[in-house]
Structure 1
Amino acid sequence: MRKLLVIGIGAGSPEYVTVQAIDALNRARVFFVFDKGEAKSDLVALRQEICERFIENDDYRFVSIDDPMRDPQPHGYKRGVEAWHRARAEKLVERIVSEVADGECGAFLVWGDPSLYDSTLRLIDLVREERRFAFEIEVIPGISSVQALAARHGLILNTIGGSVMVTTGRELAERGWPEAADSIVVMLDRGDGLRAAAREDVEIYWGALLGTPRERLVSGKLTDVIDEIERIRAQEKAASGWIMDIYLLRRSRPD
């Protein structure tokens, strides 16, 4: 039977790769990567660097899968994403069948942890629905960008007895500050969430490209540092076409 490994490889630095992940890397022979174009080719290079560093033998290979174009989502964001996932799953089925022989092990290298804002496990569920072949699945947890952000800023995510919400920039921009949350971790923000949060009296702990040589950290009252953050975001996007950033927001304490 085929086996598929979903390996969390941490938030950017090879130093974040766990011992369990290294063991899994050495069991896999085929690594699947969705090709998202030149703008994110350095993410593929980082995956390759991790493999070269930790895999003992050289009898493995990378298999690139052309990433389907995302629909403009005329019927809503969630329906658009679901359709995109099904298109990706169809391509994935074809490559697993052709590239992973019965008894072999294929793998997906997931940034951060597979349980947090990553679609790999959803795609595998869709592949299972096809029922063209049987396979086992094993998930290896990784150090998430949330953990890395907290460590780099020396933070405890929650206040005493308080709650923490993990959400997206889109949700923050559309719904505003959740009443039940004392602290909010925001991921996948194109900038709308940051600007919406600036209407609140909040502190921010922001990080970009965590664990990489290009890592950037900013903290302070959001209204005081938002211009600096937006300037860094614009510089990084201009340089490479993309940016991975994350931030924690916390209501400012009264003086």
Structure 2
Amino acid sequence: MIHLDLIGIGTGNPDHLTLAAVRAMNAADVILLPDKGADKAGLIDLRRAICAQVLTRPVAIVEFAMPLRDGAGDYAQAVHSWHDAIARVWQAALERALPHGGRAALLVWGDPALYDSSLRIAERLMAQGLALHVQVVPGITSLQVLTAAHAIPLNPLAGPVTITTGRLLRQHGWPAGAQHVAVMLDAGGAFQALDPAGLTIWWGAYLGMEQQALEHGSLAQAGPCILARRAALRAQHGWIMDIYLLKKETADASG
């Protein structure tokens, strides 16, 4: 039996790790680190730095190359095929590192439950017969870090918040009946598909890191600034992770 801890590590700042995350990392026999290639080397470097800072005992570190998702064809089918490929890589890494069983930890950006595929990939391994027990250690999400950085509430007073993706925002526009919309996994500028009238945006990139960047204002004014700044930051660092919250002003909006 392999015990796999999926550990949410927040947005790259070691201060965001919970005490439970630190305990789980130090209890592991091996820690798995995904390598997404030279273009995103900063992501694995951050994971290495977190391990160096919080481990208080020797724990084996195993790095594995993440398969690339095919950007052509049907999106859902491409994602399913990608997850199958990742599952094969996970299984190979786990069986090499723990041939007789043991405890593994996988460091997951943000939280494993919010727009992350780790739990679905682990389900694939169990469905294929791997003796695997999965435990989730929750982490701070980018939504929490974004709202904290701007010192704003996520939801309107006594109201809901809609969480969606950049792809869906481009395809379907503003979600029906929504007042606050958080947008994740945006390849860049999906808000351009919206009529900016009456919309306010709070944007953040590299949240919690030294290079954190923030913008806020009416979408009409802040939108072009965000696009230009995002392009410059991506060119500077080779990669970018960002998220934003949009608010629609209504006649009876109270907060």
Separation (CA, whole Å) in 1 of partners of 2:168 and 2:7: 28
Separation (CA, whole Å) in 2 of partners of 1:204 and 1:138: 36
Classify 1:192/1:219 alpha carbon distance in 2 versus 1 (closer, same or farther; 3 Å).
Answer: closer
Alignment pair present for 1:142 and 2:149 = no
Give runs of aligned pairs for residues 1-255 of structure 1, distance below 5 A. Answer: 1-57=1-57, 59-74=58-73, 76-131=74-129, 133-197=130-194, 199-252=196-249
Separation (CA, whole Å) in 2 of partners of 1:69 and 1:117: 17
- TM-score with structure 1 setting the length: 0.94
Structure 1 residues 162-190: Cα deviation after superposition (integer angstroms, max 9, x where no partner): 21011101100110001121100001111
Separation (CA, whole Å) in 2 of partners of 1:218 and 1:6: 32
Separation (CA, whole Å) in 1 of partners of 2:119 and 2:20: 19
The Cα of 1:61 is off from its aligned counterpart by: 2.6
Structure 1 residues 192-224: Cα deviation after superposition (integer angstroms, max 9, x where no partner): 412113544200011110010000111110111
Separation (CA, whole Å) in 2 of partners of 1:54 and 1:19: 10
Which residue identity is paired with 1:24?
Answer: A
CA contact (8 A) 2:25 2:31 kept: no
CA contact (8 A) 1:205 1:249 kept: yes
Which stretch of the first structure deviates more once superposed, 231-240 or 136-145? 231-240
CA contact (8 A) 2:125 2:132 kept: no
What is the Cα-based RMSD across aligned positions, in Å? 1.6
Structure 1 residues 15-65: Cα deviation after superposition (integer angstroms, max 9, x where no partner): 1111111111111121222321111111111111111111101x2232222
CA contact (8 A) 1:170 1:192 kept: no
Could you tell me which runs of 5 or more consecutive residues in structure 2 were left unpaired when the two chains were aligned: none
Separation (CA, whole Å) in 1 of partners of 2:223 and 2:237: 21
> What is the percent sequence identity of the aligned residues?
39
- TM-score with structure 2 setting the length: 0.94
Which residue identity is paired with 1:228?
Answer: C
Which residue identity is paired with 1:158?
Answer: N
Separation (CA, whole Å) in 2 of partners of 1:103 and 1:90: 17
Which residue identity is paired with 2:96?
Answer: S
Which residue identity is paired with 1:114?
Answer: P
Classify 1:165/1:155 alpha carbon distance in 2 versus 1 (closer, same or farther; 3 Å).
Answer: same
Could you tell me which runs of 5 or more consecutive residues in structure 1 were left unpaired when the two chains were aligned: none
The Cα of 1:225 is off from its aligned counterpart by: 1.0
Which stretch of the first structure deviates more once superposed, 140-149 or 93-102? 93-102
Classify 1:3/1:224 alpha carbon distance in 2 versus 1 (closer, same or farther; 3 Å).
Answer: same
